[in-house]
């Protein structure tokens, strides 16, 4: 047999026999070329983009469960040596992914775990050197104390976030201003809150389509109105709050279960402030009973319970009964 033909037949036979091991061969070649797994890094970047799109109709616990495999990959990749530039990119992705986990834990009401994940995200953001990523993490972190009873701590962290964001237009900067407005409103600093509202509006008006995307990493118009609704609600400026609520609802797509519930609670709080506790209780009960069971913990429950404590007599009892009914 011709030698070249023999080698060709032998190679084909060997190739067919060894085909199942081709993935191991690629990993071995990668290891010989560099200490970085480019495929894993590229996949993780895509996973971050996919996860930051928000709940999209999924309850928080389901969204968290779908991130488990990607968190395992992230842990594995961080345990390997990488060139400096790759390490910084990986740290940025780590900040984003762990920040998303923290957001979900915040929404679920697991405050302690949320704070732990935000601390991890902050460490990764600092390692990456990306100040906008750091500002985003700090702004999101500030919402844990803000939504669970420590507004002074929230205001301090939100102000730090604004300093990191700087003056250039960014989603992180707009978010930091909005969270500052809510925090200051919560501690009774109305003048400071109104200034922060104006800053948030100015910042939001300067965002491009990427920064204003409807994701957890962007600052979309709907998100902007939800934040301002809460700020004006906390200030007792119900007329402005109602306008922000209507604007938010007009931009809220049907899967936004949690967003609709939070807006409904804001509206009930405003109705209570306007002197109609019975209607406020009815609005809150209606919103609560329409809420799927998977959403009845954490942030939404915290807001409804806060309203319940402010309602006198029968309206308070009505809402309390709804909270304990199922």
The residue written with tokens 């119900």 in the block is 238
Position 6 scores a pLDDT of: 42
**Least confident interval from 50-59, 130-139, 178-187:** 50-59
Percent pLDDT > 90 in the chain is 64
Asked if pLDDT for residue 33 goes beyond 50, the answer is no
**How many residues are listed for the chain in this entry?**
326
Asked if pLDDT for residue 226 goes beyond 60, the answer is yes
CATH topology for 134-207 is 1.25.40
**Least confident interval from 26-40, 214-228, 278-292:** 26-40
Position 178 scores a pLDDT of: 97
pLDDT in tens, 250-305: 987 655 888 999 999 999 999 999 999 999 999 999 999 999 888 888 899 999 99
CB 308 within 8 A of CB 286: no
Give the model's confidence band at 245: pLDDT under 50 very low, under 70 low, under 90 confident, else very high. Answer: very high
Widest pairwise Cα distance in the chain: 100
* 85-88 contacts, C-beta under 8 A, 24 or more apart: 86/36, 86/41, 87/127, 88/127, 88/128, 88/129
The whole-chain average pLDDT of the chain stands at: 87
Asked if pLDDT for residue 29 goes beyond 50, the answer is no
Position 10 scores a pLDDT of: 46
Residue 51 and residue 58: Cα distance in Å, rounded?
A: 12
Structural domain boundaries in the chain = 35-53+61-129, 134-207, 246-326
pLDDT in tens, 179-213: 999 999 999 999 999 999 999 999 999 999 999 99
Residue 125 and residue 20: Cα distance in Å, rounded?
A: 40
Q: Which residues contact 194 (CB under 8 A, 6 or more apart)?
A: 181, 235
If you average pLDDT over residues 302-326, what whole number do you get? 92
């Amino acid at each position: 047999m011709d030698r070249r033909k023999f080698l060709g037949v032998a190679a084909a036979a060997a190739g067919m026999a060894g085909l199942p091991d081709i993935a191991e061969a690629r990993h071995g070649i990668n290891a010989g070329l560099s200490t970085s797994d480019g495929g894993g890094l590229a996949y993780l970047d895509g996973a971050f983009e996919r996860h930051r799109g928000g709940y999209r109709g999924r309850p928080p616990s389901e969204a968290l469960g779908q991130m488990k495999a990607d968190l395992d990959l992230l842990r594995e990749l961080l345990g390997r040596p990488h060139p400096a530039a790759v390490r910084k990119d990986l740290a940025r992705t780590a900040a984003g992914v762990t920040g998303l986990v923290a957001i979900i834990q915040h929404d679920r009401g697991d405050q302690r775990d949320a704070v732990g994940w935000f601390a991890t995200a902050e460490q990764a953001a600092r390692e990456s050197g990306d100040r906008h990523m750091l500002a985003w993490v700090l702004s999101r972190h500030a919402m844990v104390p803000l939504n669970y009873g420590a507004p002074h701590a929230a205001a301090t962290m939100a102000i730090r976030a604004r300093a990191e964001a700087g003056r250039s237009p960014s989603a992180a900067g707009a978010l930091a201003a909005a969270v500052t407005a809510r925090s200051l409103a919560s501690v009774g600093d109305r003048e400071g809150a109104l200034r922060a509202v104006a800053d948030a509006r100015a910042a939001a008006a300067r965002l491009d389509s990427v920064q204003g995307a409807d994701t957890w990493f962007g600052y979309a118009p709907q998100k902007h109105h939800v934040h301002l609704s809460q700020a004006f609600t906390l200030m007792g400026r119900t007329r402005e709050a109602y306008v922000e609520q209507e604007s938010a609802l007009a931009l809220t797509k049907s899967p936004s279960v949690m967003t609709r519930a939070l807006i409904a609670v804001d509206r009930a709080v405003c109705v209570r402030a306007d002197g109609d506790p019975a209607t406020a209780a009815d609005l809150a009960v209606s919103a609560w009973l329409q809420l799927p069971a998977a959403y009845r913990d954490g942030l939404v429950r915290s807001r409804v319970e806060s309203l319940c404590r402010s309602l006198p007599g029968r309206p308070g009892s009505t809402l309390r009964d709804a909270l304990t009914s199922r």
